[in-house]
Amino acid sequence: MARTRRNSWEKFITPDNKHLVTPEALDFLENLLKYDHQERLTAKEAMAHPFFQVIRDHHDAQQKA
């Protein structure tokens, strides 16, 4: 399969959205938006990604309360 040139997600970061960007978010995008479906995250892998850890932690805390 032919490869396209990889672009850096950092070029989309602006002063207006910089506060929303985390390394986990960039890694999540990088792994979700792969052209080759065999390299792309599955739904289960995506839900287990560190990007969602804050949500899992919040949910766990709510369950303990």
pLDDT of residue 9: 87
In the predicted structure, residue 57 carries a pLDDT above the cut 70: yes
**The CA-based dihedral angle spanning residues 37, 12, 46, 24, taken in that order and rounded to the nearest 10 degrees:** 140
pLDDT of residue 48: 97
Q: What is the DSSP letter of 14?
A: -
pLDDT of residue 56: 95
Q: Which two tokens stand for residue 15?
A: 């002063």
H-only helix segments in 1-65: 23-32, 43-47, 53-64
Residue pair 30/12 in contact (Cβ under 8 Å)? The answer is no
Q: What is the pTM of this model?
A: 0.76
